[in-house]
Structure 1
Amino acid sequence: MTKEFICVREVNLPASPDDVWDAVATTEGLASWLFPMPISAVGEGTSSWEPPHHLAIRIERGDWFNALEYVIEGKDGSSKLRYVHNGIFVDDWEVQYDAVQQHTDFYLHTLGQYLEYFKGQTATFVGDVPGGIQGPANSSKADSFDRVKKALGLVPEMQVGTNLHILPNGLDTFDGTIDYLQPNFVGIRSSSALLRFFGRNAFGQPVGMTIHQFGKVEDAEGIASKWKEWLDTVLG
């Protein structure tokens, strides 16, 4: 049974409308906080392209559709973004609705982190598009994300702003700060990267992660492979 959903958010962002537009309406910008995808004034489904204030995209397939809208307003040197995502879910409506609401909060928070700490830079998206780096199939089990958080060194008393010193096997030491901490999502920011961890086991899917790596990246595939090995070891 199909049913329509809608997700609406309004957020303040520490950047001008032009900077926000570059983040949401260019492939390079999207890679820096979401994932890279082709986008242009004449791209598939583009119904409004009014830089830097209004972007709307709607993709239709028969009775199914997926639509995104960004409305950007300047506000005292910063910007207010109204974000609307609506469409059709075919199966497991309540689970998918919960997932899209929680993912939206995490993604828009990451957009804010990008604009506050890495504005004007572009990132290499490490991993497969759009999912990033996936844990093993069995990581859809109930305790999987708790195991990832434990492996990252997270303990209950930690909170947003806590510094972390991570020693993943086979990878360079990672020093960062917790910038997002919810039961199903963890964000860690370093001076050169945004690491995002997704407890998608809460929605019946494997745990995953994405890396938005700023600066020169010599071997993105190698980095992804090593983090994949880390996830497989933690969750195997």
Structure 2
Amino acid sequence: MPVRKDAAGNRSVEAQVDVPGTPEDVWNAIATGPGISQWFVPSELEGRIGGTTVSHFAADGSMDSAATITAWEPPKRFVAEAPGESGTVATEWIVEAKSGGLCTVRVVHRWFATSDDWDDQFEGHSYGWIAFFHLLRLYL
């Protein structure tokens, strides 16, 4: 997915998938530690504004990714922000109900940068989400 840029210098990438389930079912799969751990990586998530989310990409904790929840709107949307080498990165999760017992899950990564130094890495995130979304669909 190509990197989008706005006039203020904000950049973003996104990925989405349609999955079976109600918004509440999908929310439990993407916005709780036990749910997300079933299809992504071992994770904890403290569901509230100011709460934290931690994803463990290595068993020894050397690749933990931690963020602070800045928006919490169950079962529709949450945003987690984390500092990084590229500046603050916001990850937004959106659940939209569709007909036929389906929901669209969209994840958007946003960051501010004055150069394109990080664009390839974030573009890679969007492709990575597509692979994990296949697991989410199977889980639901």
- TM-score category, normalised to shorter length: 0.5 to 0.7
Shift of 1:19: 0.8
Q: Percent identity?
A: 29
The one-character-per-residue Cα deviations of 1:43-62 (angstroms, maximum 9, x if unpaired) are 13211111111111112358
Q: Against the structure 1 CA distance between its residues 98 and 14, is the aligned structure 2 distance closer, same or farther, given a 3 Å change threshold?
A: same
1:66 aligns with 2:89: yes
For 1:29, the equivalent position in structure 2 comes to 35
Note if contact 2:17-2:130 (Cα within 8 Å) is conserved in structure 1: no
Shift of 1:34: 0.8
Normalised by the size of structure 1, how large is the TM-score?
A: 0.42
Shift of 1:9: 2.3
Q: Against the structure 1 CA distance between its residues 108 and 88, is the aligned structure 2 distance closer, same or farther, given a 3 Å change threshold?
A: farther
For 1:51, the equivalent position in structure 2 comes to 74
For 1:142, the equivalent position in structure 2 comes to none
Note if contact 1:67-1:85 (Cα within 8 Å) is conserved in structure 2: yes
1:81 to 86, 91, 105: 105
Note if contact 1:32-1:114 (Cα within 8 Å) is conserved in structure 2: yes
Shift of 1:69: 0.9
Shift of 1:106: 0.6
Question: Mean alpha-carbon deviation: is it higher for 66-75 or for 53-62?
Answer: 53-62
Residue pairs, 1:204-219, within 5 angstroms? none
1:93 to 111, 118, 140: 118
Return the letter of the residue paired with 2:42.
Answer: P
Q: Which has the higher strand share?
A: 2
Q: Against the structure 1 CA distance between its residues 5 and 33, is the aligned structure 2 distance closer, same or farther, given a 3 Å change threshold?
A: farther
Shift of 1:78: 1.8
Question: For structure 2, which runs of at least 5 residues remain unmatched after alignment?
Answer: 1-8, 53-67
Q: Which runs of 4+ in 1 moved over 4 A?
A: 88-92
Structure number with greater CO (CA < 8 Å, separation at least 6) is: 2
Shift of 1:66: 2.0
> C-alpha separation between the residues in 2 aligned to 1:23 and 1:75?
17
Question: For structure 1, which runs of at least 5 residues remain unmatched after alignment?
Answer: 116-236
Query: SS at the partner of 1:32?
Result: helix
Note if contact 2:31-2:45 (Cα within 8 Å) is conserved in structure 1: yes
Q: Against the structure 1 CA distance between its residues 31 and 104, is the aligned structure 2 distance closer, same or farther, given a 3 Å change threshold?
A: same
The one-character-per-residue Cα deviations of 1:195-222 (angstroms, maximum 9, x if unpaired) are xxxxxxxxxxxxxxxxxxxxxxxxxxxx
Residue pairs, 1:1-236, within 5 angstroms? 5-40=11-46, 41=48, 42-44=50-52, 45-60=68-83, 64-76=87-99, 77-87=101-111, 93=118, 95-115=120-140
Note if contact 2:78-2:94 (Cα within 8 Å) is conserved in structure 1: yes
